[in-house]
């Protein structure tokens, strides 16, 4: 049986505040149709792919932002994307803001099978930014106000003929993210992101956004012998410039396909999952070479302890 997954990384350009869900759905469906015409098995959309990146504004009454969240997936608005996926026989991965019936707010991604049934939900674990209004910033990154960090952990699911994991944006900067999924035998990690080029706490990092993005995803792929698919919402959204650079990265750590714009753009690559074993069974044979007894501080403590 073929262990090749043809992946479409469906980068989005900006979504402005005035754009409706229907405007966005048209763009997602156009990218999905293009992915299907290029024989993709799965198309991966970015983090918070249905709206503008609203954590850039601080609204003291959070309920006034409820319209940015989905209370159902699919809903009457997103159902056409599911219907189109079933018609085209293509799986997809979609990021959105989730508001649960009991009032919890998560930054969420779903993996949907070719039959348009939801295979898995993943809720963002590493929630970056700040909890309170910081008026001195040129724009806010109040994700910690708008989203709770998930307690559900990292999942890896049997899907598309392989072991598929998910992470969202800031998760990609943390080696633990990849390793926990690596220990569950992950073969492909799907990741949406929104990364502003300006980082207010330390602007010296601004010029390095592209480098850091590649650095973390390429090393995570290599060190765990897994494919990584990173998909941006890039370009200038409501005056804030964000990184493009969506990429499909092999278990060797090499970039096999990369976006050349910061707009709606589809990258595709036929990913051979068996390539993972070249790394999983040799240099990164976890069972043979890892030393978990030497790593206990990784789960026992959160911050630095000077001994
Ligand atoms: N969406 C998201 O997680 N963005 C962060 C921006 C830096 S933290 C303010 C990221 O890690 O790319």
Ligand 1 center to residue 29 CA distance, Å?
26
Instruction: Name the domain count of the chain.
Output: 1
> Is 124 considered catalytic here?
yes
27, 49, 74, 101, 193 from 71: Cα distances, Å: 22, 15, 9, 7, 21
Pocket test for ligand 1, best of 169, 212, 233 (most atoms within 8 A of CB): 169
Ligand 1 center to residue 109 CA distance, Å?
16
How far is residue 168's CA from residue 30's CA, in Å, rounded to a whole number? 23
Other C-beta atoms lying within 10 Å of the C-beta of residue 223: 17
pLDDT of residue 307: 83
Answer whether residue 133 is part of any domain.
Answer: yes
Q: Could you say which of 70, 93, 98, 124 is catalytic?
A: 124
Answer whether residue 71 is part of any domain.
Answer: yes
User: What does the pLDDT profile of the chain (307 residues) look like in tens digits?
Assistant: 569 999 999 999 999 999 999 999 999 999 999 999 999 999 999 999 999 999 999 999 999 999 999 999 999 999 999 999 999 999 999 999 999 999 999 999 999 999 999 999 999 999 999 999 999 999 999 999 999 999 999 999 999 999 999 999 999 999 999 999 999 999 999 999 999 999 999 999 999 999 999 999 999 999 999 999 999 999 999 999 999 999 999 999 999 999 999 999 999 999 999 999 999 999 999 999 999 999 999 999 999 999 8
Ligand 1 center to residue 281 CA distance, Å?
33
Q: Which residues contact 55 (CB under 8 A, 6 or more apart)?
A: 129, 140, 141, 142, 143, 145, 146, 147
* Ligand 1 atom with least separation from CA of 169: 3
Q: Could you say which of 40, 47, 271, 280 is catalytic?
A: 47
- DSSP code of residue 129: S
Q: Supply 194's token pair.
A: 């929104």
Closest CA to 50 of 31, 72, 25, 80: 25
Q: pTM of the prediction?
A: 0.98
Ligand 1 atom 3, closest CA: 170
Q: Which residues contact 85 (CB under 8 A, 6 or more apart)?
A: 32, 91, 92, 112, 114, 116
Beta bridge partners of 241: 236
Burial (CB count within 10 angstroms: exposed 0-12, middle 13-18, buried 19+), residue 42: buried
Ligand 1 atom 6, closest CA: 195
Answer whether residue 307 is part of any domain.
Answer: no
Q: Where in the sequence is the domain holding 160, given as residue range(s)? A: 4-300
* Ligand 1 atom with least separation from CA of 126: 3
Ligand 1 atom 4, closest CA: 195
Q: What is the CATH number of the domain that holds 71?
A: 3.60.110.10
Residue 236 near residue 245, CB atoms below 8 Å: no
Answer whether residue 270 is part of any domain.
Answer: yes
Residue 206 near residue 199, CB atoms below 8 Å: yes
Answer whether residue 306 is part of any domain.
Answer: no
Ligand 1 center to residue 177 CA distance, Å?
15
Helices within the chain (DSSP H only): 21-37, 79-88, 143-146, 175-182, 209-224, 275-280, 286-289, 296-300
Q: Supply 29's token pair.
A: 């469906």
> Is 47 considered catalytic here?
yes
Query: Cβ < 6 Å from ligand 1: which residues?
Result: 47, 128-129, 141, 169-170, 173, 193-195
Answer whether residue 305 is part of any domain.
Answer: no
* Ligand 1 atom with least separation from CA of 201: 9
Beta bridge partners of 247: 230, 258
Q: Could you say which of 40, 93, 169, 271 is catalytic?
A: 169
pLDDT of residue 1: 59
Answer whether residue 182 is part of any domain.
Answer: yes
> Is 280 considered catalytic here?
no
pLDDT of residue 107: 99
pLDDT of residue 226: 99
Kind of pairing, strands 4-11 and 42-44? parallel
Answer whether residue 226 is part of any domain.
Answer: yes
Sign of the CA dihedral with 112 first, then 34, 9, and 146 last: negative
How far is residue 222's CA from residue 297's CA, in Å, rounded to a whole number? 23
Pocket test for ligand 1, best of 139, 141, 150, 197 (most atoms within 8 A of CB): 141
- C-alpha count within 13 angstroms, C-beta hemisphere, residue 178: 24
């Amino acid at each position: 049986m073929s262990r090749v997954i043809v992946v479409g990384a469906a980068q989005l350009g900006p979504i402005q505040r005035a754009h409706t869900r229907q405007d966005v759905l048209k763009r997602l469906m156009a990218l999905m149709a293009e992915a299907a015409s290029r024989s993709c098995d799965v198309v991966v959309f970015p983090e918070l792919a249905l709206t503008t990146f609203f954590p850039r504004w601080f609204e003291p009454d959070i309920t006034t932002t409820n319209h940015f969240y989905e209370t159902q997936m699919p809903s009457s608005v997103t159902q056409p994307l599911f219907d189109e996926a079933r018609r085209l026989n293509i799986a997809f991965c979609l990021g959105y803001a989730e508001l649960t019936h009991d009032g919890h707010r998560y930054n969420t991604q779903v993996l949907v099978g070719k039959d348009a049934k939801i295979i898995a939900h993943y809720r963002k674990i590493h929630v970056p930014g700040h909890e309170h209004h910081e008026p001195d910033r040129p724009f806010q990154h109040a994700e910690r106000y708008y989203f709770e960090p998930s307690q559900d952990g990292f999942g890896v699911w049997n899907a598309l003929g392989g072991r598929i994991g998910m992470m969202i944006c800031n998760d990609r900067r943390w080696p633990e993210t990849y390793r926990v999924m690596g220990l569950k035998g992950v073969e492909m990690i799907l990741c949406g992101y929104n990364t502003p080029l300006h980082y207010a706490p330390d602007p010296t990092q601004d010029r390095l956004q592209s480098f850091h993005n590649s650095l973390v995803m390429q090393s995570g792929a290599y060190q765990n012998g897994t494919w990584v698919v990173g998909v941006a919402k890039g370009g200038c959204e409501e005056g804030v410039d964000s990184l493009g650079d969506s990429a499909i990265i092999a278990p060797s750590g090499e970039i096999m396909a990369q976006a050349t714009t910061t707009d709606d753009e589809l990258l595709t690559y036929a990913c051979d999952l068996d390539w993972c074993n070249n790394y999983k069974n040799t240099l990164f044979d976890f069972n043979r070479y890892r030393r978990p007894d030497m790593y206990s501080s990784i789960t026992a403590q959160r911050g630095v302890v000077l001994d």
